[in-house]
Amino acid sequence: MNQRKQTYRKFTHVGTYLKKPISEGCSGRGFAQSRLLTQWPEIAGAAIAKIARPVNVSYPKTGLGAVLTLLTNGANAPLLQMQIPEILRRVNAVYGYRAIHEVRITQSSRHGLAETPANFDHKSPTKALSKESQEALDTLVSDVKDDNLKSALTALGKSLKQKPTLKRKN
């Protein structure tokens, strides 16, 4: 008897599709843990993430350990310098061992080498939700009975509607 193997379509986390491109992009800059880039505010803390961001992890030819390079502006460099022991502790907690032995601070103006100013704030700009969009969103979630699920779906819908649209340059 020929039995057909059943296959089921399951929901897949978006992270499984994005894991490979993110890891490739991160490893090109020396980041073995992509979480250092993607979850920097949670790792470093809100105060540090507001004034600095990681740009590179380099591995010296001699000796053990890596060097984490942080970008900040000149006015915040002394404040960041005082926070280096805490940064080392938090970053190495992500790796699970003392992978980073040194933190280097690179100072740049907000403009730096880029065309647009560097943004150390990790909040994305949002646009206001129109009345029609809000009503459409309320209509979509009106049949949901669970209040927690309803509020989560409403928050998701708002964030998707408020996300700024990028314009392509031709």
Whole-model pTM above 0.85?
no
Using CA atoms, how far residue 91 sits from 27, 49, 139, in Å, is: 16, 12, 44
pLDDT, position 87:
92
Round the average pLDDT of the chain to a whole number and report it: 76
Left (φ > 0), alpha (ψ -120 to 50) or beta: where does 63 sit?
A: left
Task: Give the CA count within 13 Å in the CB-facing half-sphere of 59.
Answer: 9
Q: Which band of pLDDT confidence, cut at 50, 70 and 90, is reported for residue 113?
A: very low
pLDDT, position 85:
93
Percent of the chain with pLDDT over 70: 64
Closest CA to 106 of 61, 76, 85, 65: 76
pLDDT, position 1:
54
